[in-house]
Structure 1
Amino acid sequence: MSEFPTAPDVLGPEVEVLPLPDVADRLGVPFTRVHQMLRDGLLLALRRNGVAVVPAEFLTDDTIVKGLPGTVTVLQDGGFSHEEIMRWMFTEDDSLPGTPVTALRENRGREVRRRAQAMAF
């Protein structure tokens, strides 16, 4: 099985993260499916203390936050690295207001994608 991409830990220690087995449990999928989601850009992971983890805010109770995969795709297609995307998702934006990941969680994906498209192209 090929390796999945991860970003370095660019988030503050206050950002809650979940190890990949916990992500699989929460989503109700096999561990290997989480690896595939990371390879496909449906989720992003970072390495914290050498362990691959996913920010808890990328998940609701049992699904990936609506709009996250599309936003990640827009930014990747625009040339952004996983590190840059991760950093952007958790950076305050006064025009939203809040962070892009918070806006996605609040079902304001259209606003987030507009900003992502403007940055990417």
Structure 2
Amino acid sequence: MSEIWKEYNWLTINEAAAYLGVEAKVIRSWLKDVSLLALPSPEDGKLRIPQVFLVAGESEGDYRGPLEVLRGTLILLRDGGFSDAEAMNWVLSEDESLGDTPLNALRAGRKKAVRRVAGALAL
């Protein structure tokens, strides 16, 4: 698990809210409905979200929020018995069958392939 903490930029709930220009309660709502996932930092125990899970939008009116294709995958993993730490580790780590991290595959439009692998792992 420690590798993902080194490879990604992690934001507290308040930092994520500032990054997206929303209130912290919006971030908490996304965490509650599994649109986002956060883990306690090994350094200070504060919940942190990988910045790569967030879409900040380039200009006024652009979408700002969690990567939209992430939610279904996170729900599938959770329903399959994955802990939040296990789900986070899988989404952010290289998967041989995908040839990339599941997150990068989702960003590249390969949602079906990612969910197929996630579903198989969750059995």
Question: What is the TM-score normalised by the length of structure 1?
Answer: 0.83
CA RMSD of aligned residues (A): 1.8
Instruction: Give the deviation of 1:101 after TM superposition.
Output: 1.0
Instruction: Note the residue ranges of structure 2 that are not aligned, 5 or more in a row.
Output: 57-63
Percent identical across equivalent pairs? 39
Equivalent-residue separation in structure 1 for 2:40 and 2:26 (angstroms): 18
Equivalent-residue separation in structure 2 for 1:28 and 1:107 (angstroms): 26
Cα distance change on mapping 1:51 and 1:10 into 2, 3 Å: farther
AA at the equivalent of 1:36:
S
1:1-80 equivalence runs, <5 A:
11-48=4-41, 49=43, 50-61=45-56, 62-80=64-82
Instruction: Give the deviation of 1:69 after TM superposition.
Output: 0.5
Instruction: Note the residue ranges of structure 1 that are not aligned, 5 or more in a row.
Output: 1-7
Cα distance change on mapping 1:35 and 1:54 into 2, 3 Å: same
Equivalent-residue separation in structure 2 for 1:27 and 1:114 (angstroms): 30
